[in-house]
Amino acid sequence: MTRYESAKAMYAAYGVDTDAAIAKLKNIPVALHCWQGDDVIGFDHDGPLSGGIQTTGNYPGKATTPAQLLADMEKAMSLCPGTKKLNVHACYAIFEEGEYVDRDKIEPKHFAKWVELAKKYNMGIDFNPTFFSHPMASKDGLTLSSPDAEVRAFWIEHGKACIRISEYFAKETGYPCVMNIWTGDGYKDVPADRMGPRMRYKESIEAILEEPFDKNLVKPCVESKVFGIGVEAFTAGSAEFTLSFAATHDGVLPLMDNGHYHPTEVVSDKIPALLCFYPEIALHITRGIRWDSDHVLLLDDETKEMAKEIVRNDALDRVYMALDYFDASINRIAAWVIGFRSWQKALLAALCTPNAMLAKLQDENKYTELMVMQEEMKTMPFGDIWAEYCASCGVASDTAWYKEIEAYEAEVLLKR
Ligand code: RNT
Ligand code: ZN
């Protein structure tokens, strides 16, 4: 008997079909964010990262050209099991030699190389307008909520251009494109007017959505946030604002980033709350330490709990999952791989949990037995199921993948 066969029998004793869990996970797309590879800089500007977000660390080998970033992403994906989707920010437009257009003028052709990469691996692409790291956002950090009509108009045009590019992605790849609107708009200190900026923000997003698009192809999202660096006192796109916006605008999804709430709030609890009302929702999966620090995703308790809520509510096809973190203090490709594999593990563990049996114990008020069973699940031989899943996807289940990163670092990254 192999280790997998033995583990499979142990799970089967609780009614869990591990073969089915493995087969299911293989077809669930998870979006990998291009911005982990170059510390959220992109290709369309020389300035620093702005918008209240920050990377820390100066690990060598950062990608600085499109060719490098795409190659690094391919390397990372080759070491991860499961179905991937690309997640691209508008600042990652790829221009011809000597060409440049501003963000309000970008076109599908500037993302043709991303489409090429997506097609090579039969992946979809998600997209994000970039409302930061730009002169039009540098003066006061305000974009869609700015009191300056000219600034708002520029960013509305950017948003519309991004809808056109999102539709192009969907048409080219055959997969819907999740287009996420997030801005760092807010104030460092106690504002004198909170509703004014929010009304402008609302009207600007509405203006963007006036761009015609097919709702089956483009899934616009609004991402909330509680605070950012330099916008500690107020953000225009707060939780209540974005939830209400999505609830009142047909076809718009709420996007929850689990770094964007007060420290004792958990997105695992918010997922089922939103699933009661929204046909589809989106997630940015990250790991905050003390604040929205965007550390590399690990297999920690909250990560596992979020995955459980998606799986046990049978919502794998209603929740668009994307990773969103950026760490410049370790090998950037390893950071991608660790995070992607962690989320795969969380999903697989959730799929290997006897969810119906546990829910029944809850409904029958058998809380002691529920506690006993939930604790028992923690020491099941999950590693053997994971190993089988990785093997069936043609990737290493153990740390062998890291050897490849070390070789790539020596041969490629350190020569940059
Ligand atoms: C920032 C948001 C946002 C960004 C990316 C780069 O706090 O999480 O999603 O991380 O758009
Ligand atoms: Zn996010």
Q: Please indicate, yes or no, if residue 78 is contained in any of the structural domains.
A: yes
Q: Which two tokens stand for residue 177?
A: 């494109």
Distance of CA 132 to the CA centre of its chain: 18
pTM, whole model, 2 decimals? 0.98
In the residue annotation, 89 being an active-site residue is answered as no
Q: Please work out whether the CB of residue 33 comes within 6 Å of at least one atom of ligand 1.
A: no
Protein residue closest via CA to atom 5 of ligand 1: 324
**How far, in Å, is the centroid of ligand 1 from the Cα of 12?**
41
Assign 159 to helix, strand or coil: helix
Q: Determine the Cα angle at 266 with ends 260 and 272, to 5°.
A: 110
Protein residue closest via CA to atom 2 of ligand 1: 182
Assign 189 to helix, strand or coil: coil
**How far, in Å, is the centroid of ligand 1 from the Cα of 196?**
24
- Residue 167 contacts by C-beta under 8 Å, 6 or more apart in sequence? 177, 213, 214, 217, 218
Q: Please work out whether the CB of residue 182 comes within 6 Å of at least one atom of ligand 1.
A: yes
Q: Quick check: 384 and 3 in contact, CB under 8 A? A: yes
Residue 388 predicted with pLDDT over 90? yes
Domain of residue 281 covers 28-351
Q: Torsions phi, psi of 377, nearest 5?
A: -60, -30
In the residue annotation, 294 being an active-site residue is answered as yes
Alpha-helical regions (H) of 108-238:
112-120, 135-138, 149-173, 195-209
Closest ligand 1 atom to Cα of 225: 7
Q: Please indicate, yes or no, if residue 325 is contained in any of the structural domains.
A: yes
Q: Which two tokens stand for residue 295?
A: 């550390």
The amino acid at 217:
L
Q: Determine the Cα angle at 405 with ends 78 and 19, to 5°.
A: 40
Q: Which two tokens stand for residue 251?
A: 């076809």
Q: Please indicate, yes or no, if residue 374 is contained in any of the structural domains.
A: no
Average pLDDT of 221-235? Answer: 97
- CB atoms closer than 10 angstroms to residue 183: 31
Q: Torsions phi, psi of 215, nearest 5?
A: -65, -20
Number of domains making up the chain:
1
Q: Which of 39, 211, 223, 309 is catalytic?
A: 223
Give the per-residue SS3 of 306-346.
HHHHHHHCCCCCCEEEEECCCCCCCCHHHHHHHHHHHHHHH
Which pLDDT does position 395 carry in this prediction?
98
State the Cα–Cα distance between residues 377 and 304, nearest whole angstrom: 12
In the residue annotation, 363 being an active-site residue is answered as no
Q: Which ligand has its closest atom nearest to the C-alpha of 126?
A: 1
Q: Quick check: 246 and 222 in contact, CB under 8 A? A: yes
Q: Please work out whether the CB of residue 221 comes within 6 Å of at least one atom of ligand 1.
A: no
Q: Quick check: 124 and 169 in contact, CB under 8 A? A: yes
In the residue annotation, 74 being an active-site residue is answered as no
Which pLDDT does position 140 carry in this prediction?
84
Query: pLDDT tens across 251-284, in order?
Result: 999 999 999 999 999 999 999 999 999 999 999 9
Average pLDDT of 234-242? Answer: 98
Query: pLDDT tens across 171-190, in order?
Result: 999 999 999 999 999 999 99
Residue 169 predicted with pLDDT over 80? yes
In the residue annotation, 225 being an active-site residue is answered as yes
Q: Which of 126, 157, 211, 324 is catalytic?
A: 324
In the residue annotation, 46 being an active-site residue is answered as no
Q: Please indicate, yes or no, if residue 9 is contained in any of the structural domains.
A: no
Assign 32 to helix, strand or coil: strand
Residue 138 predicted with pLDDT over 90? no
Q: Please indicate, yes or no, if residue 398 is contained in any of the structural domains.
A: no
**How far, in Å, is the centroid of ligand 1 from the Cα of 325?**
8
Q: Please work out whether the CB of residue 84 comes within 6 Å of at least one atom of ligand 1.
A: no
In the residue annotation, 202 being an active-site residue is answered as no
Residue 139 predicted with pLDDT over 80? no
pLDDT band at 83 (very low <50, low <70, confident <90, very high): very high
Q: Please work out whether the CB of residue 225 comes within 6 Å of at least one atom of ligand 1.
A: yes
Q: Which of 44, 211, 280, 292 is catalytic?
A: 292
Q: Please work out whether the CB of residue 257 comes within 6 Å of at least one atom of ligand 1.
A: yes
Single out the residue of 319, 257, 316 nearest to residue 33, CA to CA: 257
Which pLDDT does position 173 carry in this prediction?
98
State the Cα–Cα distance between residues 228 and 157, nearest whole angstrom: 25
In the residue annotation, 324 being an active-site residue is answered as yes
Q: What is the DSSP string of 334-382?
A: HHHHHHHHHHHHHHHHHHTS-HHHHHHHHHTT-HHHHHHHHHHHTTS-H
In the residue annotation, 17 being an active-site residue is answered as no
- Residue 200 contacts by C-beta under 8 Å, 6 or more apart in sequence? 144, 145, 146, 147, 152, 236
The CATH number for 251's domain is 3.20.20.150
Q: Please indicate, yes or no, if residue 65 is contained in any of the structural domains.
A: yes
From 178, 224, 257, the mutation candidate for ligand 1 (largest count of ligand atoms within 8 A of CB) is: 257
Average pLDDT of 115-128? Answer: 98
Q: Please indicate, yes or no, if residue 415 is contained in any of the structural domains.
A: no
State the Cα–Cα distance between residues 253 and 180, nearest whole angstrom: 9
- Can you tell me which residue has the tokens 């045009």? 157
Which helix H or strand E contains 218, and what residues bound it? Answer: strand 218-223
Q: Please work out whether the CB of residue 324 comes within 6 Å of at least one atom of ligand 1.
A: yes
Protein residue closest via CA to atom 3 of ligand 1: 182
State the Cα–Cα distance between residues 108 and 46, nearest whole angstrom: 22
Q: Which of 157, 167, 280, 294 is catalytic?
A: 294
Q: Which ligand has its closest atom nearest to the C-alpha of 229?
A: 1
Which helix H or strand E contains 253, and what residues bound it? Answer: strand 253-257
Q: Please work out whether the CB of residue 284 comes within 6 Å of at least one atom of ligand 1.
A: yes
Q: Which two tokens stand for residue 414?
A: 């350190």
Protein residue closest via CA to atom 7 of ligand 1: 53
Q: Please indicate, yes or no, if residue 207 is contained in any of the structural domains.
A: yes
Single out the residue of 182, 159, 84 nearest to residue 125, CA to CA: 84
Average pLDDT of 345-374? Answer: 98
Q: Which two tokens stand for residue 218?
A: 């483009």
- Can you tell me which residue has the tokens 């093997």? 391
